[in-house]
Every structure is written in structure tokens, then in C-alpha cells.
Chain A
């Protein structure tokens, strides 16, 4: 009897749930205003940019778009960076992916091919949302400052998505503190001025008893400064050792081979200058900074405990929002040529190394409304949409002709500079690991170039060997994967498909270069094994 009652209650609850579910579906499908005349369409957009201003920018673009398209609802799904990869894989594999997703974390070429819609057919056509602007007749590709290089997959030979932003790295200054320290607000334009400011800050801290460091460092922020300084001394050495360094072809193996054959060493004068330069500035960061995380350094800065922090344009809005002081932004200066004789290898200011755009948003194959998703993507990537994006997010625009606000003008890419040389971490993950373990010996007050050289030098050859092994396996793996793709494209192109023929031509160029690497890198790796 008791069982029957429990069963009846259970069945009743089940029936109630069913009725509620049906009613909800009915309301969702038919409860919209009659004037729309069709079911509303929801486009969901996912990204991991939780930095200040970005969610507001997506909301602003969505609001503007929905106002012009009453039958469309745009929903934003901000997913924390730490869980983005797992979230992404679950959504893609489970067939529940949103319509538009930011490409990057958790992405590989296989996932792109399988789950995202290529845009290659559209790149030579204008963006319809640019009608009435000077970009009206300009092919989509040429409306972005990077020519959509950031969207092109070298392996798949297809364009995926459209970029929304550009990025550079700079030094942020606490302008109020700068005035307290120097009596003015002028930010350093040369390395010499930067060091002088660091010294003034130390004196200021001593004089006033305030706990202030010149630069907030962390394992994330410090390399932005130190690697750039280091590379200012190694440009010519890099060219000398690796004939393809400027071409950025496969120079890691040549640099490693040069180390093995003693073409360069940690005693080379360029490396010596580069290490001394890192120590020169590293000593102005708070003690033990390489053990700290990105958030620790930001906290230090926004709490007014450091005058400067090096970071990317992506942090501009967050830093401004969290700081109760005014902010200035300036370049990362390197030693001037002909200046301090301790850094004789400087050539001049360095160019911003990457000129590619970011925040690439792509449409998934799962999208139930790919046409609407594409239209919204076009809007975000139009001159009007991108102006809104840049104004609200405080991030650099990606579209040609969009004017960055005064606040972010200092982040505009600097291209009239030299390319820097290699950093000591050039070989890869193991190089980075031993560098991080040893860097304290270089930049701590009791450290020295000699101490770092000894500790780092003991492990450098082994780290290079391990990195070469990894690079060799990677090159062979890519070559093997290309083999099936090449066979497929060769057969499809043979059947008269011009698009497949063009893709085959691109893949042949890429595969030949990779095959060459699959011979050269293992050859250098083998030479490391013959001790």
C-alpha cells in the first residue's frame, strides 16, 4: 500500500514536470510579440575575457544589434579562463556549443576543422555592415589591420572567425605616485631615464618610509620587461648564429647547434651584457617576484605599492578600474645605442613583435542559426561595431579606420623599430623551466651574473637537448598528419576542384617546410646526444 502511494506521488510529480515543461516550451515558442511574426532567434557568444570592460563591450554590441534586429536575442557566456578548455571540449563533444566562440584556449587544428565554420569564401567579399563607410567596398580581409592573418590556419589552409582586438605590451605608471616622487608626470622615454626613475623611487621610499617598490613583478609580468631588455643585446648575435633568425623559420635548432659548437656561450659578450641588463632592472622589482602570480603583481600595483607594472593592453581597463589613482602608459624602453658602455649591442628601439590581432570569434558548426550568427559577427567586426567594442572595452581595435580612444592611443603598435634577438629561453619549455628556477640568482640583491651563469649553465645543455627532442617529435608528428591530408587534397584536386587545388598548393608549401624541419631538428638533437 505504502509503495503504491509513493509511486502515485512520484508519477504525479513526473506528470507535473511534464506539463510545466510543455507550458514553458509553448511560452517560449509562441509567447513572443505577434509583430515579430517569427520565432525569436537566440545567438550565444562565449569567450574567456573577464578583464574589466570586455563583458560591457559585448553587452553594448549585443544591445545595439538587438535594437536593429528585434527578432534576435544575443546572449553572452563569459567563461573563466581556467576552466575554458574543459568547458569548450564538453560543449563541442556534447553538441551543445554556443553559436560563436572565441578561438584560442583549448583549440587545435583538429577541433577547428571538426567544429567550426571556415570563412575562406567570405574574406574577399565586403562586410555588409560596413555599408555607408569608407570600407563599404573593401574585402573583409583588408578591413582588419592584420589582413586576417590571425584567423588563417596554416595547417587547415582556411580562415576561421574574425578578430576584434589588437594587443601590445607597455609599462603602466601610477601617475599620482609619479608626481609625488618626481614632482612631475613625465614618463621615461629611454632606458636610462627608466633606471633613474627606479632609483628616485627607492630614495623616495627610504625618505618617506612608504613601502613602495619601483616595479611590480611576477612570473607573468617580469618576463615582459626582462626578455625585451635581454633581446636588445642579442639581435646581431642571433643573426650571426642562425642565418634564418630574421625569417623566423626554424632558428631554435640553429641556435642550439650554435651553443653546442660553441659559436656562442653564456660567456659571449652579448649574453653577458644581456644578463647584466636583466639584473640591472630586475633588482628594482619586489623580492621573490618570480614566485608571484599575475594577480599578486596587479594587486601590488593597484594598492599603490609599486610605481610601475609591465603588462599588455588587455589589462588597461582592469587596471584603471581597480586603481584609485590616475594611470599613465609608456613604451618599454631599451638602452640607447652609443649610450651606457655596459650595453654596447643596442641597435635602437624595438618594434612591437607581433602585429597580429586577437579575440578571434568564430561560428560553430553546431549553430542552429548560422546566418544570424554570421550577421552578428559581421556587425561586431564592422567599423561601427568595432568602434563600440574599443570604446567600451578600452582595448585596441582590429578594424582599419577605427579610432582608439585617447586612453588607449599609447598602446597603438610601434612598428618603426628593430627586431630583438633571442632570449635565453628560446629552446622551449625546458629552457623556460630552468630559467625560472635560476633567475633569482640573477636579480636578487645578493645575486650576480656569475651566480646565475653557473646555475643556469649547468642545466642549459640538458634543457636544450630535451627541447630539441620535443621539437623533433612535434615536427615528425605534423609531417605524418600532413600525409593523409595531402593524399586527400591531391585526389580531390585531381577531380577538378579548384578550391582543393589551391589548398593543396598551400599545404605543399607548409609540408615541405615542415618536412625539412623534421630532418634538421632531429639531426641537431642527435648531435647533442653524441657527447
Chain B
């Protein structure tokens, strides 16, 4: 380990200790009789991991999340690239994505139940309506931001339109498309938790609502903390992968 990375690790560690320390203090003070301390939450997480309820919950939550993210990636990248390459598709669909990105989705998700009921479809849909706009918008920007000098060079070498797209535009946009996918995964986590809290309580949403209804506040906080941690780790992992795969000038 070099001196730089060691120092960085130390700072990261110190930041965690500080946040968890404040949490522990706030729980012991307490800021509310229902607010558990960090240590109580960790113990509750241990109990839920030991009795298998956490694993069962994630097996259920990851299903709509993974299906939803896969659909969003395909539809989002496809729509973004199409909008980037064709003015008429851009004119037709861009406003939809701009509106979808700005709309308060927590207000819209309950409406899904009126159309798609309460099953897996409704939850997958909740993930996709949050994830697709951000993936599509980033892919679109990636295509549109292709360096004009590179395109000029392609034309100078008598490259065809197809060659320009496959050999210049897409590789250049790959960085931003990947950024979109990373943000899409983050939105997917938000979508699946909102769906599990607002549509029907299953998986991690069930753990949160059930433990809240029987006033097991440490367990409720542990369930929330675990999904936050998983979401953060997934997004961080994708960010590391992105840094490794793409040079900084095309990451946007």
C-alpha cells in the first residue's frame, strides 16, 4: 500500500467512525425514544442475518430490481442512442424523458397499481420508470457530445455513416452511457424500495413496514441501513469499474 492510499483509507475510516459515532450518541441521548443507537442497529442486523429473514427479503427484492434494471438498460440505451442519432426520434421522444425525469415518481407509483395490480409487473415497472429516463438522457448526451473533430477526421478518411457510428460515436459515448447505467442502478434501488413500501410490502419493504408496525425500531433501521449500504456499494463498484474501463476525457 502506498502512502497516498493509506492516508486515503485512514480518512475514509475516520469519516465512517465520525458518522457512526454521532449516530450512537444520538441513539443514546436519545433524539427520540424510537431512535435506536448504531450498536442496537448492528445487533438487530446480526439477528436478522442469523434468522435468515434478511436473505429471504433480498432474494425477493433483488428480483424486480434486476429484471427492472436489465429492461431499463436495454430500453434506456436504445432510446438514448436513437435520439442522439436521429433528429426526428429526438423531437418525438425527448420531451417524454425530460418530463419523466422531472416528475415526482413517488406520486406516480401508486397509480401503477390501478393499471398493473400489485404483483411483480407493477414493481418492475416502478424500477423502469425511474431508471429509464436517466439512462436514456445520459446515452443521448453521450452521442451528442461526440467530439466534432473526430467526426471530421472520420469524414476526411471517407468513413461511411455506419462506420462513423460504430467506430467513432459509440466508443466515444460509451463513457457517458456507462455513467447513465450507474445512475440508473441507483434510481432502480429507489424505485424498488418505493414500490415495496407503496404497492405491496415484500422483501426489504416488508421488513421495514413489519418491524415499524410492531415497533422493533432497531430491526427497522437495520433493514433501511442494509439497503442503503447495498445501493451505495453497488453504485460505488460500478463507478470503480467505469474509472478502469474509460479514460477521463470521455466520462463526461
Is the pairing of A and B real? no
**Chain A residues proximal to chain B, CB less than 8 Å:** none
